C-alpha cells in the first residue's frame, strides 16, 4: 500500500501505438514495483480526477519487456473521458495497440466521476481457468455493489519477462490549457514469493 500521491499530465501526453507512424510513450507515470511477469499476482488502484479534455485518462500502466520482443509491450486500464462520458477503458499493445471501452455501472453518477467527486477502483488479478488450466490477467472495475469484468488478457503470461506496474495519467489533447491532475489514494501490488 502506498501513501496518496498526485500525477499531473500536460497536454499532448499519451501511451498509444497505431500504424503506420504513431508511437507515443510520454505520459507521466509513477512505478509502484517491478518483477517477473510470471510472479505478478494482483494489484489494486484507486484514483479521482476532474476530466475536462477529450481522452483524459488515468489508471494502471504495465510495461512489459521480454527478450523475444523487439519493443516493449504495455497495458493501460482505467477511466477515460471518451465521447463526452467517463468510461472504463483498457488498451493493450503487443505490436500495435487495441482499445476497448465500457460504460460505468448504472448506479454510478457519471457527473461525480467526471468532476472528481467519486473515486474509481480497478483491480488486476492473475486467474487460472478451472476448465483449461490456462492463466490470464483479468481487469475489473470494483465498487461497493459491483465487480465489473473489463478484460481478460490471455497473452500476458504466455512468455516470461519483466513487468513494471505503475500509476499513470495522460492528456492526449494537443494545445489543451492546464494539466490533468489525478490523485491516487490507493495503490497496492502483490507478487509471488519464491
Q: What pLDDT is attached to residue 180?
A: 97
pTM: 0.94
Helical segments of 59-182, H only: 110-114
State mean pLDDT over 38-55: 97
- Mean pLDDT computed over every residue of the chain: 94
Give the integer Cα–Cα distance in Å for 26 and 9.
10
Amino acid at each position: 500500500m502506498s501513501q496518496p500521491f498526485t500525477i499531473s499530465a500536460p497536454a499532448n501526453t499519451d501511451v498509444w501505438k497505431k500504424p503506420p507512424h504513431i508511437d507515443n510513450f510520454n505520459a507521466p507515470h509513477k512505478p509502484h514495483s517491478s518483477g517477473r511477469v510470471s510472479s505478478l499476482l494482483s494489484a489494486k488502484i484507486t484514483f479521482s480526477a476532474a476530466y475536462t479534455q477529450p481522452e483524459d485518462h488515468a489508471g494502471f500502466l504495465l510495461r512489459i519487456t521480454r527478450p523475444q520482443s523487439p519493443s516493449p509491450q504495455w497495458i493501460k486500464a482505467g477511466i477515460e473521458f471518451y465521447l463526452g462520458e467517463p468510461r472504463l477503458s483498457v488498451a493493450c499493445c503487443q505490436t500495435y495497440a487495441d482499445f476497448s471501452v465500457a460504460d460505468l455501472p448504472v448506479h454510478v453518477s457519471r457527473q461525480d466521476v467526471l468532476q472528481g467527486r467519486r473515486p474509481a477502483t480497478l483491480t488486476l488479478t492473475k486467474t487460472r481457468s478451472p476448465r483449461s488450466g490456462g492463466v490470464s490477467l483479468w481487469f475489473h472495475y470494483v465498487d461497493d455493489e459491483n465487480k465489473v469484468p473489463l478484460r481478460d488478457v490471455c497473452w500476458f503470461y504466455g512468455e516470461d519477462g519483466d513487468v513494471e506496474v505503475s500509476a499513470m495519467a495522460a492528456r492526449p489533447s494537443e494545445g489543451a490549457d492546464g494539466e490533468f491532475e489525478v490523485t491516487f489514494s490507493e495503490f497496492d501490488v502483490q507478487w509471488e514469493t519464491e
